[in-house]
Structure formats: structure tokens, C-alpha cells
Amino acid sequence: MSYDRTTLLAAAQTRGDQHYREMGQRLGVSRATAWRLWTGRSAPSAVTAAAVEREYGVPARHLLAPAAA
């Protein structure tokens, strides 16, 4: 499985977050973590995935995409 940032970005933008800093503030993560999520450099931790679900209504399983074979 790999992280699919498009789902998170769509949910963030639906809530009005147009920049990774806004998303980071809403999720309660550092700017660096928000940037890594926004750019797809890293997947959310379990704690961050829970914040995504709480703030954006996106379950963790929707943030993951099957790995290409």
C-alpha cells in the first residue's frame, strides 16, 4: 500500500485549506509534517490519520492506495 495524497488534498481544499500550513494548523501537526503530507513525501502516522478522519471525515483506509505490481 502507498499513500495517496490526492484524497487528503481534495478533503482539505473542500474545507478551505489552500496551503499546507492551513492543513497543518487544522490537523495540529508541524509545518514540516504538513508539507510532507501535502507533497506526498510521507504517509500520515496513525495519530495524524485519526486527525484527518476527525477534521476532514476521511477514513485512513481512503488515504492508502494499492501498490503497483
CATH of the domain at 47: 1.10.260
pLDDT (tens digit per residue) in 1-47: 688 899 999 999 999 999 999 999 999 999 999 999 999 999 999 99
What domain range is 17 assigned to?
Answer: 2-65
Residue whose C-alpha cell is 492508502? 64
Please tell me the predicted confidence (pLDDT) of residue 66: 64
Total-model pTM: 0.86
Number of folded domains that form the chain: 1
